[in-house]
Amino acid sequence: MEKEFEVRSRDGVATYAVAFILEFGRLNVYCKCPAGILGKWCKHKMRLISGDVTGVLATSGAVDMVEVLSWIRNSEFPRLLDEMKTAKNEMQVAKIKMDKVKKTLEKSVQKGVAVCQK
């Protein structure tokens, strides 16, 4: 089964076709934006996989969207999105720690540090 939606880009001008193909129990997502054509991750796929239907053109079909959202709910995508969210939070914590260590190191370079002499 294939369902395709026209999704408006954030610039409000361009629209890209995002296709969901459910075949043999596997869900594939394709987007025809410049990144998507290269098979790369893009914000259009991300937006729809996250359940955010902002920018999906009304003519795309609300019934099809309801069906695709149920495919997504029953797929690994929600777990993977949670994993990504957790990783993002861990990255922010690590960044705060890194900034703190960097400041301490900068101060230490300016003020000098103790040296053990024997």
Nearer to Zn ion by Cβ, of 5 and 44: the residue is: 44
Applying CB under 5 A, the span of 33-41, 49-57, 59-67, 81-89 interacting with Zn ion comes to 33-41
| 36 contributes a contact to Zn ion by CB under 5 A | yes
Nearer to Zn ion by Cβ, of 37 and 91: the residue is: 37
Taking Cα atoms as reference points, which of 5, 13, 54 lies closest to residue 30?
5
| 68 contributes a contact to Zn ion by CB under 5 A | no
What the block records as the tokens of 95 is 């960044």
Residue from 42, 48, 49, 56 touching Zn ion (CB under 5 A): that is 42
How far apart, in Å, are the Cα atoms of 37 and each of 71, 75, 81, 101, 108?
A: 22, 23, 22, 41, 50
Nearer to Zn ion by Cβ, of 24 and 68: the residue is: 68
Total number of residues that touch Zn ion (CB under 5 A): 5
Nearer to Zn ion by Cβ, of 31 and 49: the residue is: 31
φ/ψ of residue 114, rounded to 5:
-70, 145
What the block records as the tokens of 113 is 């540090």
**Sign of dihedral through CA atoms 55, 61, 66, 72?**
negative
Please give the residues from 44 up to 63 whose contact with Zn ion meets the rule CB under 5 A: 44
- Taking the C-alpha atoms of residue 89 and residue 14, their distance in angstroms, rounded to an integer, is 32
| 33 contributes a contact to Zn ion by CB under 5 A | yes
- Which residues contact Zn ion by CB under 5 A? 31, 33, 36, 42, 44
